[in-house]
Amino acid sequence: MSETSGASGTSESSAAAEASEPSQAGGAPAGQADGGASAGPPAPGFGNYQNDIYLNGLDGQLPRFTTDLTLLGASAREHLDPGAFGYLAGAAGSGATHRANRAAFDRHRLVPRMLRGPAPRDLSTTVLGTRMPAPVLLAPVGVQSIIHPDGELATARAAASVGVPMVLSTASSHTVEEVAEANGPDGTRWFQLYWPNDDDVCVSILERARDAGFTTLVVTLDTWTLAWRPQDLDQSYLPFIRGVGTAIPFSDPAFRAGLEKTPEEDVISAVLRWVPMFTGTDRSWDQLPFLREHWDGPIVLKGVLHPDDARKAADAGMDGIVVSNHGGRQVDGAIAALDALPGIVEAVGDRLEILFDSGIRTGSDVLKALALGARAVLVGRPYAYGLAHGGEDGVRHVLRSLLADLDLTLGLSGHRTPGELSADSLQSGV
Ligand SMILES: Cc1cc2nc3c(=O)[nH]c(=O)nc-3n(C[C@H](O)[C@H](O)[C@H](O)COP(=O)(O)O)c2cc1C
Ligand SMILES: O=C(O)C(=O)c1ccccc1
């Protein structure tokens, strides 16, 4: 949208993996009614979205787009420039880890239980002091203005209307203050840090995030430099070197103080100062006290895949971790995030909160991650695809679909709350 596209990506990796998920004819035509999407507090029982959709059908209204979230990658292509699509759907290298994330879910199957009266259900939970209606958060996804002009503002509004917490990326297209306003007084929001190597800039961004009502800090460890991403390389597509996804630093007084000209006057110089400040900046465990000193809420480390790193996070006094391989976008050939989860839960499950992301597409995926010990999950590409399909309404449709599927699948499996799930709820290795 904001970019002109270069050569179209031809490698069969990454984006193709997402876009080639089995395509059924199920996708409702775009542009139709939004199946009962409405702002305001969520209806009691997420499964009601199913009723809304069927009842709207009596009036000839179909959901805005498909309710099968595994299909969204393919249809998002129609709404995006090739560059933006490749960036969103793509992955590292051959896409092996991206595919492994999905394959891992298939190796675990739920074993439903009967006649246990699992209604009404209660999906709500509290994670690190944040009350949430279901154990689901929106993962940090940067540069959302390449997906839709409203970008993170649309996401923030949709998240608040459903009650789901959002995690805002440092690489946002809108400032922390703008996103907080869109998310509103009732929205719940966490802030994701790409840790700048300039301490003054880091502290200034943290203070702004805290003042704007972001309660928990998520520090991403696995993307201190961008991986080899053929989908982007083949199109020479990197939004933030064009000053897209840089709203937070460019509006930051400490960052601006180090520039001779403002970013509005000279975007190239601002980009040249920012990019090396947040990428190419690997950190070490002994630097974590700096963040503790400058952030008074909970701190979560995102991108942990080894039990020893999870132990180090606990030893460092961190409050939580996200078991994640960044949706297969960083180390191609890395372990599927779901396969890393049980060992990490065993190592530190009693010492800190364990969240999970990478590959969640359906309600049953959420249940499998919870059964393997995650307290909550983050979902990335699916809501970004929703944003591509229909801005705020599109994100809301994805969220309501995922939560309705989660609620119904939990109940049909014989459970009333997510806390009832355990490894016994699964048959694994199938
Ligand atoms: C387009 C895109 C941009 C992303 N940007 C960020 C980011 O700025 N910060 C971050 O920590 N993770 C980022 N991620 C990773 C997500 O937070 C999350 O780990 C990943 O998308 C989960 O996998 P899934 O897409 O299969 O749900 C990004 C992912 C995508 C697809
Ligand atoms: O593309 C990503 O996965 C990502 O995390 C990122 C990194 C820098 C800027 C924007 C997004």
CA of 137 to the centre of ligand 1 (A): 12
Q: Which DSSP state fits 338?
A: H
Residue 312: CB atoms within 10 Å:
17
Per-residue pLDDT of the chain (430 residues; tens, 9 = 90+): 232 222 233 233 444 445 543 232 223 333 333 433 343 444 447 879 999 999 999 999 999 999 999 999 999 999 999 999 999 999 999 999 999 999 999 999 999 999 998 889 999 999 999 999 999 999 999 999 999 999 999 999 999 999 999 999 999 999 999 999 999 999 999 999 999 999 999 999 999 999 999 999 999 999 999 999 999 999 999 998 889 999 999 999 999 999 999 999 999 999 999 999 988 777 899 999 999 999 999 999 999 999 999 999 999 999 999 999 999 999 999 999 999 999 999 999 999 999 999 999 999 999 999 999 999 999 999 999 999 999 999 999 999 999 999 999 999 999 999 999 999 999 999 8
Nearest CA to ligand 1 atom 8: 142
How far does residue 379's CA lie from ligand 2's centre (Å)? 15
Domains of the chain with CATH codes = 46-416 (3.20.20.70)
Kindly give the distance from the C-alpha atom of residue 388 to the centroid of ligand 2, in angstroms, as a whole number. Answer: 17
Tell me, using a 6 A CB cutoff, whether residue 23 lines ligand 2: no
SS3 341: helix
In the annotation, is 326 catalytic? yes
Q: Given the residues 79, 326, 389, 397, select the one marked as catalytic.
A: 326
Residue 153 amino acid letter: L
Q: Which ligand is nearest to the CA of 355?
A: 1
Report the SS3 class of residue 288: helix
Looking at the CA of residue 171, tell me the nearest atom of ligand 1. 8
User: What residue ranges line ligand 1, CB within 6 angstroms?
Assistant: 87-88, 139-142, 169, 171, 192, 220, 302, 324, 326-327, 329, 357-360, 379-381, 384
* Pocket perturbation via mutation, ligand 2, pick of 219, 226, 229, 238 by most ligand atoms within 8 A of CB: 226
329 Cα nearest atom in ligand 2: 3
Ligand 2 contacts CB of residue 400 (under 6 A): no
Q: Which ligand is nearest to the CA of 384?
A: 1
- Beta-bridge partners for 200: none
Question: Please, what's the largest Cα pairwise distance for the chain?
Answer: 70
Q: Are 91 and 325 in contact (CB under 8 A)?
A: no
Ligand 2 atom at minimum distance from 327 CA? 3
Query: Whose atoms come closest to the Cα of 167: which ligand?
Result: 1
| β-strand pairing of 376-379 with 353-356 | parallel
How far is residue 21 from each of residues 44, 74, 108, 141, 406, measured CA to CA in Å? 32, 7, 19, 21, 20
What's the complex ipTM?
A: 0.99
